[in-house]
Structure 1
Amino acid sequence: MDNILNFTLEELQNWMKDNNESAFRAKQVVSWIYKEIWDFNLMKNIPGELKEKLSKSFYIGIPKVIEKFESKIDGTKKLLLGFKDGNLIETVIMKYKHGNSICISTQVGCRMGCKFCASTIEGRVRNLTAGEILSQILVAQKLIGERISNVVLMGSGEPLDNYDDVLKFLELVNAEYGLNIGQRHITLSTCGIVPKIYDLADKGLSITLAISLHAFSDEKRKEIMPIANKYSIKEILDACKYYIEKTKRRITFEYSLVKDVNDSIEDAKSLGKLLSGLLCHVNLIPVNEIKENSFKRSSEKTINNFENTLKNLGVEVTVRREMGSDINAACGQLRRSYIELSSNN
């Protein structure tokens, strides 16, 4: 059986024709799904015979909410979601003045090995399908009873390591017949898989590309990000320049500040020099402390000094506002603690 959420409207129309059904039925079925009716038998204007065909060929792959936490500080919600094969992922819903944002996963686990991230500790289990990526938004909207307006592909997994399904997800989430979330409201975060950045640039999308940089030199980057052993910063920046040229979109560089590792004034000056003249924005992220490593968060004074140094060098920069700090909202922490607890019982 196939997860119907993986199908575009056109693909479902073709399935209808192949199964001796009218193509317009596809739009009816899709309409029900986006109205949060996730049982074919409850779709009122669908004939009984078609309901039987649908039930034999498809399932509606909505994950179960295994655990839910809500921040008492800012209302951020973190969900542990379970798929029918038993795999778990995390999704975070953040409420801002400009609307609801969601941080979604693209893989179960991750194989990139970044030392500051809990998602990657046990590697990648499998990729998520386009429909499974989409389903996180459907679950979130039903839970909060409000529309999600901004999407960040920055949860568990490396989106460009699941390139084809992520591209199809972008098509599905942007479709007028579905959630109709504009590409300019979508951010894709990557640790820098250079060939895929070029491929993505050639698609001419309007999404925001975010690069997890976290260091100004290859030597420093290799200490915390294994991907740096494959692609140099120069290669990444060349790919970014190509992306900017092709899309006319500003790039975001994410920089996690780690005490005594990459947070000195000299680090800031070197980073500013590296990014000088590039159409970009730096997002400074006070590192999330996890028990699996010794990384410590930089002091507020160090963070402010780093930010001001970049500003003085003409680099656009902001410090990311912490969301859900009291519920371990950093990716990977909830899934990992749940698995550890389950294995000990």
Structure 2
Amino acid sequence: MTWPNVTINQLNQRQGVINEIERTVLFIGHAHDGAATVGDLVMLNSQSDIDVELTDASDSLRENLRAAQLNAGQNWQAYALIVPAGADTAAKVDAIRNVQPMISVEGVVSIGDLSADTTAADIGIFSALREELISKHGRWVWFMLAVPGPHKGGAPKSWAQYLEQLSTNATGKAAHAVQLVPALWGNEVGALAGRLCHRSVTIADSPARVKTGALVGLSSDLPVDSAGVELNLAHLRAMHDLRYSVPMWYADYEGMYWSDGLTLDVKGGDYPVIEYLRIVDKAARRVRLQAIAKIADRALNSTPGSIAAHKTYFSRTMRDMSRSTQITGITFPGEVKPPREGDVEIVWSYTTAVSIYLVVRPYESPKAITVSIMLDTSLEAQS
């Protein structure tokens, strides 16, 4: 016997939009000598007056934030964190840990006049911090480190000596989520971070993309070494080959551009450039939230119907990221290619554990273009 009744349940299907943290970066740097207060987290956007908001920051931190603001364009937002003057990398890492309950960001930019020989140690420290943030908070964060120029971190160096120092710092290092940017002009790391946050392009676009526009804020005067020799493309190419991310220019083409967003991934690794890492990090953030919603949900089971339905469910992130736009016949591709049959696989290990495998496919991006021109001197038939 059943007592007559009606029960209404409002079911949450988790179909809402996931807030974007991509293009939001934390800048961390030192205070100037004699600063009154440090340690506060400062929120910044396109309208912020950097000098007013960061009165206690060092000139280097303010200069790089101005470059980031200029190169990011509209709707830029970022955070700045100031550590005491002279604070070491361990203090920076502690400061980054302390702000985790307050903010979630895509990347961290470390700025400071460190000695050249500390850069090698910093690579390992920040690479370890990424793994810590993933394991503790489920946050995938990349790091960008400003490397002192030839006139910082000891006696001024010639370009040859500086390249030798750069080689010592990076050779043998494996850190696929760390980028090294030499501070030749002084504000390149800010310019690159801003370029990566520009909303006219996607996170899947390389900072080398020329159509994004020329870099803004770098001095028109070329840096010189200890002997007064100007920086040239050969020097920049040598730094690039050492896995440093550097600006560049093209002969007879106006403007300063970027070479490539190189990371310290191993030879043959999947993430040698930042755009590959960014799309996989974005997919990881979103799929994690989808997976949490399925904990102990018996609708996810080993039956063929459930597996088919959940292949569609877990491919949602790739479908969302693959949306392209067509304007006047020109297609602007999405962040990844649309998922294909077999790009999502679901394998049950036992009755309470399931493994889900996803394939993310980036679009091709031409960075080396070869054009061959042939001459045809044959006579055309006369009409």
TM-score grouping bracket, smaller chain normalisation: 0.3 to 0.5
Higher Rg of the two aligned structures = 2
User: Normalization by structure 1: what TM-score?
Assistant: 0.35
Q: Normalization by structure 2: what TM-score?
A: 0.32
Normalized per residue, which structure has more helix?
Answer: 1
